[in-house]
Amino acid sequence: MALAKRRFPLPDSQTIPGQTVAVHGEGHNPALLHHFAEQQQQRDAASLGMWIFLATEVMFFGGLFCAYLIYRLKYFAEFSAASKTLALSLGATNTAVLICSSLTVVLAVYAAQHAKRSMLLGNLILTIILGFVFLGIKAVEYNEKFEKHHVPGPSFQFNEVNIPGHPGQYANPSHAQIFFALYFVMTGLHALHMIIGIGIFVWLLTAAWKGRFTPQYNTPVEIGGLYWHFVDIIWIYLFPLLYLIDRHP
């Protein structure tokens, strides 16, 4: 641990050498919180805090993956039949959209660290646009599910649907309903996290627009980036598990 070189917070009058005083013109760097000794400690703390928060998110989705694993092994036939009704092309496009958004996020973090204002703003905007594209495609998919009565609940219908690989054998509607219950909860929760991600990036965009991020202080962009990449990783797993259960002819 880099303990030794840490010093007690500087008395208010003395600023960190080479530190451009930000817009507020206060004595020391405005972003350095009072209880941190110095910038590096605050950045490390924020980064570790976000990683631990991502650990809670992994366990949060983990409960759903556990339910998915158990019901997939129990009702594989119905799961493959129900998975086949999902639009593979839309799912694949969404995965590509999220991967591109991860690229723009990483470029935004790079831009913040190298004081490239236009590149930062451009990539932030691109990320937000890609986020909305993802939600748009998701809305199209959900709408199609509503029309086909595949939404679990009283209106659910899944009669005479063949089980792939077993012509003439029909999927049990109640077991298929469990698949769609899991599908809606998992993708719904992921979409909710996507909406929160877009909110964070809109806030980052406004802060970047006001020029708050400098090569010395860009932790929020980094933290927002970590969160976005995590949401992308969750989709990287959701896509094959939900869409690609049994696609061979």
Partner 1 sequence: MFDNFPLWPQRASTMAGNVDALYIFLVIVSGLMTLLIFTAVIFFAARFRRRRGVPAEQIEGSTPLELTWSVIPFVVFMVIFLWGAVVYFKGRTPPRDATEVYVVAKQWMWKLEHAEGQREINELHVPVGRDVKLIMTSQDVIHSFFVPAFRMKQDVLPGRYTVAWFHATKPGTYHLFCAEYCGTQHSGMIGSIIVMEPAQYEAWMSGGSTGPLSATGEKIFAELGCSTCHRTDTQGRGPNLQGVFGKPVLLEDGRTVIADENYVRESILDPGAKIVNGFKPVMPTFQGLVSEEQLNALVAYVKSLSNAGESGVKASPAVLVPAKGAGKAPAKGSQVQ
Partner 2 sequence: MATENPQPERVNYLNKEYGVGSWLLTTDHKRIALLYLISITFFFFIGGFFALLIRLELLTPAGDLVQADTYNKLFTMHGMVMIFFFLIPSIPAVLGNFLVPMMIGAKDLAFPRINLLSWYLYIIGGVMMLHCMLTGGVDTGWTFYTPFSTAYTNTKIVEAGLAIFVAGFSSILTGLNFVVTIHRMRAPGMTWSRLPLFIWAHYATSIIQILGTPVVAITIVLVAVERTLHLGIFDPKLGGDPLLFQHLFWFYSHPAVYIMILPSMGIVSEIIACFSRKRIFGYSFVALSSIAIAVFGFLVWAHHMFVAGISVYAALIFSLLSYAVAVPSAVKVFNWTATLYKGSIHYDAPMLYAFGFLGLFTMGGLTGLFLAALGINVHVTDTYFVVAHFHYIMVGGAVMGYLGGMHFWWPKISGKLYPEGWARLAALIVFIGFNLTFFPQFILGYVGMPRRYYQYPPEFQVLNVLSTAGATVLGVGYLLPMIYFLWSMRYGKPAPDNPWNAAGLEWKTASPPPTFNFDEEPVVTWEAYNYEQLDGARKEEVPVAG
Partner 3 sequence: MSEHSSSPLKTYVTIWLTLLAGTALTVYAATVDLGHFNAAVALTIASCKALLVALFFMHIRGASEKLVKLVVIATVFFLFILLALSMADYGTRAWS
Q: Footprint of partner 1 on this chain (CB under 8 A)? A: 77, 163, 166, 168-172, 175
- Which of residues 113 and 172 has its CB atom nearest to partner 1 in the complex? 172
Closest distance between partner 3 and the C-beta of residue 33, in Å?
A: 19
Query: Which position has the token pair 């759903």?
Result: 64
Instruction: Decide: 240 and 67 in contact? Cβ < 8 Å.
Output: no
Question: Which residues make Cβ contacts (< 8 Å) with residue 122, sequence separation at least 6?
Answer: none
36 is a site residue for partner 3 (CB under 8 A): no
Binding mask 2-41 for partner 2 (x = CB under 8 A): -xx-x-xx-----------------------xxxx----x
Q: Count residues binding partner 3 (CB under 8 A).
A: 51
Closest distance between partner 3 and the C-beta of residue 147, in Å?
A: 25
Determine how many CB atoms are found less than 10 A away from the CB of residue 32.
21
Report the partner that residue 204 touches, choosing among partner 2, partner 3, partner 1, none (CB closer than 5 to 8 A by kind).
none
In what helix (H) or strand (E) does residue 234 lie, and over which residues does it extend?
A: helix 219-238
222 is a site residue for partner 3 (CB under 8 A): yes
- Rounded CA separation 94/102 (Å): 12
Report the partner that residue 45 touches, choosing among partner 2, partner 3, partner 1, none (CB closer than 5 to 8 A by kind).
partner 2
- Which of residues 50 and 191 has its CB atom nearest to partner 3 in the complex? 50
- Rounded CA separation 124/147 (Å): 35
Q: DSSP letter string over 95-155? A: HHHHHHHHHHHHHHHHHHHTT-HHHHHHHHHHHHHHHHHHHHHHHHHHHHHHHTT-SSSTT
- By CB under 8 A, the residues from 52 to 111 that bind partner 3 are 52, 54-55, 58-59, 62-63, 65-66, 69-70, 73-74, 88, 92, 95-96, 99-100, 102-103, 105-107, 109-110
70 is a site residue for partner 2 (CB under 8 A): yes
Closest distance between partner 1 and the C-beta of residue 169, in Å?
A: 4
236 is a site residue for partner 2 (CB under 8 A): no
Q: Count residues binding partner 2 (CB under 8 A).
A: 45
Instruction: Decide: 115 and 215 in contact? Cβ < 8 Å.
Output: yes
Q: Both tokens of residue 202?
A: 């809109």
Q: Both tokens of residue 201?
A: 């990036």
159 is a site residue for partner 2 (CB under 8 A): no
